[in-house]
Structure 1
Amino acid sequence: MDAGTKILVVGDVRGRFKQLFQRVETVNKKAGPFEILCCVGDFFGDDKQNEELIAYKNGFKHITVPTYILGPNQKEHEKHFEDLADGEICTNLTYLGKRGVYTLTSGVKIAYLSGVESAGSADSAKSNHEFTKSDIFAVRNSCLVSKNCSTEYRGVDVLLTSQWPYGMQENANETASKLISFLCREIKPRYHFCAINGTYFECPPFRMPKDETTQFELCTRFISLADVGNSEKAKYIYALSLKPVDKSRLLDLVQKTTNEIPCPYAGLDLCGTVDKNDTSETRQYFYDMEKKKSKGQRGYGKKRRMQELNQEKCWFCLSSPDVEKHLIITIGERFYLALAKGPINRYHVMILSTKHLPCAAQLTTEDWEELDKFKNSLRKFFKTIGQVVCFTERHYKSFHLQINVLGFEEGYAWKIKHSFEDKAEEFNLQFETLPALDSPKMLPEIGPYFLAELPDDSTLITRQMNHFPLHFARDVFCSENLLNCDEKVNWKECLLEKDEETTYVSDFRKGFAPFDFTV
């Protein structure tokens, strides 16, 4: 396909890193450049085999194509995924996470689900290498929410799982998953890749039946890949070139081919596995959800924290000697409000966590409740001065949770989303649109992101953070369409004298006082 996004997918690596990355480098030189390499199945092998990765971690060898892997499929491999800051294993090697949707710069959407189906409760996995019904609904809802609102649902470009779906091959059904079959039927991927069965198998294309999400019969191609370096020389690496489904011609998506077979999931009895009327699941539109731990595991009942910076060296921790206390407006139990350093205007403030936390995705329920109080109080305050408010968070090259708060004249409310979209196009970024944030579960479980909460209660979010412009939010706010002050894009050019900052803080505190729930 011309002008398509080139993607590589490989099956079980099982510690054969040198063989894999040498092969990928050859393929990339011959047929690339490829934007991404996706690994399904078991990535790690035994401890001896895994030693091959040391050279890549130390920088003596290099991975030429950005590589993303799924999580563990067996308990003994869980140790390799503990304490991964931002999911990065080494340069160009990243753990995608338990589940979610990853959007490439081109707009290609890749849905993914790690692990194997839990054999226990339908709602709680026994181990971190297992997934449950909740994980399935989380991925499904992420796909449906991220669709282009101006068109009918067209499916996603790629689905990555390690386990096979039930119904694809009768002799594989004992180790296959009905939950994955349900997920495929719901999100309608153009390509579905999996592994762990040790065989290469490419099924003829088939079409998903129409349902309440779309009236189109969309085509899926199922491919299982063999192990890297298998003795049978079965195919373990697959290259494809894709134009994003949302940018493809509808005719190309619905036009049938001569070798199609009936959908293997259409007649499956999924009763007892998934109840589509289970409103506790189907009404949750999560971008991603927290990783759950079972009783007896380290960290049970708590969210996994990313690596923390030394609080004594953090500008924003209240316990740090470097915090500029004269910028503080008011302090709650878990968050505080402060004037932004180098503010765009006198009403440019920030919500910051009192203790060291990296991002809003890592907040507990109690943390989120207080954060919500601050946001609602600020909305009420800005309304009294005829303004609407926008909240932004950049979890990228920033170790402490910072939420920027800026007000705009009410008549400009409709321009804010358009300004973000225009600037995103300028930087070649793709944003998903989510409903109003009501839980940290709506945020990515792992890895960097940027989000903007808009006055219309919608949320823009992206995980395309490779070389993300650090001044992106200020670029939007200072653009000609909004505040028209390009000279203030860099905060360092807006630094004030300490007495000016003190005056700004005092004025804001007085105006905010009627809405300050902390006093």
Structure 2
Amino acid sequence: MDGNTKILVVGDVRGRFKQLFSRVEQVNKKAGPFEILCCVGDFFGGDKQNEELIAYKNGFKHITVPTYILGPNKAEDNKHFENLADGEVCTNLTYLGKRGVYTLSSGVKIAYLSGVEATGNIAGQHEFNKADIQALRNSCLVSKNCATDYRGVDVLLTSQWPYGMQEKENEKASKLISFLCREIKPRYHFCAINGTYFECQPFRMPKDDTTQFELCTRFISLADVGNSEKAKYIYALSLKPVDKARLLDLVQKTTNEIPCPYIGLDMSGVVKKNETSESQQFFFDMDASGNRKRRNPAGNHDKRPRIMQIDQDNCWFCLSSEKVEKHLIITVGERFYLALAKGPINSHHVLILSTKHVPCSAQLSPEEWEELDKFKSALKKLFKSLGQVVCFTERHYKTSHLVIDVLAFEEGYAWKIKHSFEDKAEEFNLEFETLPALTSSKMLPEMGPYFLAELPDDSTLITRQMKHFPLHFARDVFCAENLLNCDEKVNWKDCLLDKEEETAYVEEFRKTFAPFDFTDDDDDDDDD
């Protein structure tokens, strides 16, 4: 069908890179162009096999279709995923991350979960646990418009099989994945690592409190690339995003459907619902000992992905760096500080920055998130006292330090801000998801770049389409004709002030902010 998105999915690669990318190039020429290639299962092989990737890393060979891979399934493969800048292995080859939702420019939503189910409460880099399932489930459901209109996601990628699909495979399968499938209702679910090709007849997920529809799922396990049995290891999809598909196409049943294999599974102790949550988010039962919340003395309890170490002495924003322009600082907290924006749009254009080197909000600890939220709340109160509303934006792309851009608008302009974002998104061919108010770093992509905007109505716009993303996108929106109407200020370099003007702006804002500045509180209590 015209206008459909074409996607390729392959099973375990295990170091057969030349064979894979050669085959993909042939398929792309014959039946493409394909927008994306997704790899489930084991991507890397032994050290000798992985040498085939060197030519692609050095640019002597090229990957023709943007390729996205899942993470390791064995502890010995963790080394291949350490120190990846924004998940990039090489040009057109990217590690998606431990779990999340990747939205294509067409609107197709791909949910993904790396690794295998952990045997204990603590998940290693190659494992997932209940908390990961919770976070992924909430990421899929959080953008639905009302309690019963959820339509599912287009594709779910896992390496491990769900429990209940084939009896002979159950010992290698995961009940958590079965639960996840039942909750997020993917149209297609791909997995691998069992070395077999298996395509199940379609089945329907039951109605629940998130949807009034019985949505259809197709489960497909793919074989190894280049397997000797010549079993199918590559699968081509052409589909319209589920949110844009006709409802009739989603609910119309076919004659070959089978009962849902996940109905009737014993899920006792796996999950319970928080019935008071207005956002319909679900929370997992943790052990009574509270292991999930307790820090491990060895530091193994930190689930944040490893990132490249940056020399803080050379960072423009780390407070310990000599490069910080300290005359721009308004006030300093324990983990964050407030500063005047360089090249500000106006005198109330400020930044919230982390005192130490943190790359993005998605990698904040609960303590860091709490203080960031305090700064946001204080600024909201300040601008409300001035008859204004505030918008917070974050661009985790081509920047290595967490920076929250803060700009206020007259209250009468509040409704225009979202429209301005939508207009600019259409102009730059960007697709945004709408989330509710951000309450945790777990609502954000664990790895990879993104851009988000927190709007005055407490909704959040987010996109992960960062290829060729315009670096001045937020200022493009703010300076648009229907908002501040100052196109000449889109580039911050055109708005640079001399040091005396910057100092005057800082002093003015510091006095205005003083009644709301919680950083001076001895008991560290918030002002309410």
Which TM-score applies when normalising by structure 1?
A: 0.93
What are the within-5 Å matches in structure 2 for residues 275-290 of structure 1?
Answer: 275-276=272-273, 283=281
* Backbone CA RMSD of aligned residues: 2.4
**SS in structure 2 opposite 1:245?**
coil
Query: Paired residue for 1:375?
Result: 376
Instruction: Quote how far apart the aligned CAs of 1:387 are.
Output: 0.6
Per-residue Cα deviation, 1:89-144 (whole angstroms, up to 9, x for no partner): 111111111111110111000011111122334xx33x222222222222111111
Deviations 1:373-412 (A, max 9, x none): 2222211211221111111111100111111111111111
**Gap change, CA 1:12 and 1:446, over 3 Å in 2:** same
1:515–1:298 CA distance, 2 compared to 1 (3 A): closer
Match of 2:216 in 1: 219
In the other structure, the counterpart of 1:54 is: 54
Identify the residue that residue 260 of structure 1 maps to in structure 2.
257
- 1:91 aligns with 91
Q: How much has 1:334 moved relative to structure 2?
A: 2.2
What SS does structure 2 have at the residue aligned with 1:251? Answer: helix
Q: What's the counterpart of residue 248 of structure 1?
A: 245
- Structure 1 150/272 Cα, relative in aligned 2: closer, same or farther at 3 Å? closer
Comparing 57-66 with 324-333, which one deviates more in the overlay?
A: 324-333
Partner of 2:175: 178
List per-residue Cα deviations over 1:136-177 (Å, max 9, x = no partner): 222111111133559811111001111111221222122112
Q: Determine if contact 2:148/2:212 at 8 Å carries over to the other structure.
A: no
Q: Contact 2:274 / 2:282 at 8 angstroms: preserved in 1?
A: no
**Map of 1:130 onto structure 2:** 127
Q: Does 1:450 align with 2:451?
A: yes
Classify the secondary structure of the residue corresponding to 1:231.
coil
Cα 1:443–1:28 shift into 2, 3 Å: same
Alpha carbons of 1:444 and 1:297: their partners in 2 closer, same or farther (altered >3 Å)?
farther
Quick check: 1:15–1:44 contact (8 Å CA) kept in 2? Answer: yes
Amino acid at match of 2:182: R
How far apart are 1:279 and its partner, in Å? 8.3
Cα gap change, 1:513/1:276 in structure 2, threshold over 3 Å: closer, same or farther? Answer: closer
Question: Aligned AA for 1:159?
Answer: L
Measure, in 2, the Cα distance between the counterparts of 1:368 and 1:426: 33
Pairing 1:431–2:432 present: yes
- Partners of 1:336 and 1:399 in 2: how far apart? 17
Give the aligned residue type for 2:402. Answer: L
Q: What residue in structure 1 maps to residue 79 of structure 2?
A: 79
Check the 8 A contact 1:128/1:293 in 2, yes or no.
no
Which residue number in structure 2 is paired with residue 229 of structure 1?
A: 226
Output the amino acid matched with 1:235.
K
Aligned-partner Cα distance in 1 for 2:134–2:38: 22
Match of 2:107 in 1: 107
2:282 and 2:152 map into 1 onto residues whose CA distance is: 19
Report the alpha carbon displacement of residue 426 of structure 1 after superposing the two structures with TM: 2.0
For structure 2, list consecutive stretches of 5 or more residues without a partner in the other structure: 285-291, 521-528
TM-score when normalising by structure 2:
0.92
1:250 deviates by 0.6
Q: Which residue of 1 aligns with 2:324?
A: 323
Distance 1:435 1:71, change over 3 A: same
Give the distance between the partners of 2:183 and 2:410, measured in 1 at CA: 42
Residue 187 of structure 2: SS of its match in structure 1? strand
Cα distance in structure 2, aligned partners of 1:272 and 1:321: 52
Q: CA deviation at 1:340?
A: 0.8
Classify the secondary structure of the residue corresponding to 1:183. helix
Q: Distance in 1 between matches of 2:487 and 2:242?
A: 36
Whether the aligned pair in 1 keeps the contact of 2:148 and 2:211 (CA below 8 Å) is no
Instruction: Report how far residue 277 of structure 1 moved.
Output: 6.2
CA distance in 2, matches of 1:32, 1:169: 33
SS at match of 2:519: coil
For residues 176 and 189 of structure 1, the distance between their equivalents in structure 2, rounded to whole angstroms, comes to 18
**Preserved CA contact (<8 Å) 1:293 1:299:** no
Whole-Å separation in 2 of the counterparts to 1:302 and 1:207: 34
Alignment correspondent of 1:388:
389
* Partner-residue secondary structure (3-state), 1:329: strand
- The residue aligned with 1:332 is 333
What amino acid is the match of 2:381?
Answer: K
- Counterpart of 2:16 in structure 1 is 16
Q: 1:44 maps to what in 2?
A: 44
* In structure 1, distance between residues paired with 2:416 and 2:274: 38
| Residue type at the aligned position of 1:79 | K
In 1, distance between residues paired with 2:268 and 2:337? 49
In 2, the alpha carbon distance for the partners of 1:184 and 1:410 equals 43
- Mapped to 2, the partners of 1:300 and 1:166 lie a distance apart of 27
Q: 1:180 to 1:63 in 2, by over 3 A?
A: same
CA distance in 2, matches of 1:225, 1:423: 40
Preserved CA contact (<8 Å) 2:318 2:324: yes
Matches within 5 A, 1:467-506: 467-506=468-507
Distance (whole Å) between structure 2 residues aligned to residue 272 and residue 330 of structure 1: 47
The structural deviation recorded for 1:498 is: 2.3
> How many Å separate the matches in 1 of 2:283 and 2:63?
35
| Displacement after TM superposition at 1:21 (Å) | 0.7
Distance in 2, Cα, partners of 1:325 & 1:52:
49
- Matched-pair contact (CA < 8 Å) for 1:330–1:518: yes
Distance verdict in 2 for CA 1:295–1:12, change over 3 Å? farther
Pairing of 1:288-307 with structure 2 (within 5 A): 300-301=301-302, 303-307=304-308
Change (3 A) 1:415 1:297: same
Q: Distance in 1 between matches of 2:60 and 2:294?
A: 36
SS, match of residue 243 in structure 2: helix
Counterpart of 1:198 (choices 162, 185, 195) is: 195
How far apart are residue 302 of structure 1 and its match?
7.0
For 1:350, the equivalent position in structure 2 comes to 351
- Structure 1: 5+ residue stretches without partners: none
Shift of 1:449: 1.0
Residue 206 of structure 2 is matched in structure 1 by: 209
The one-letter code matched in structure 2 to 1:12 is: D
Question: CA shift at 1:421, angstroms?
Answer: 2.0
Cα distance in 1 for partners of 2:283, 2:398 equals: 28
Q: CA deviation at 1:284?
A: 5.3
Partner Cα distance (2:303, 2:129) in 1: 19
> Secondary structure of the residue that 2:219 maps to in structure 1?
strand
In 2, distance between residues paired with 1:198 and 1:397? 39
CA distance change for structure 1 residues 112 and 189 in 2, over 3 Å: closer, same or farther?
A: same
Does the 8 Å CA contact 1:28/1:34 hold for their aligned counterparts? yes
CA distance in 1, matches of 2:362, 2:243: 28
Show CA shifts across 1:200-237 (max 9, x none).
Answer: 11112121121211111111111111000000111100
Provide Cα deviations, 1:50-93, integer angstroms capped at 9, x if missing partner: 11112212222111111111111112112211222211111111
Secondary structure, aligned partner of 2:154: strand
> Does structure 1 conserve the Cα–Cα contact (< 8 Å) formed by 2:329 and 2:339?
yes
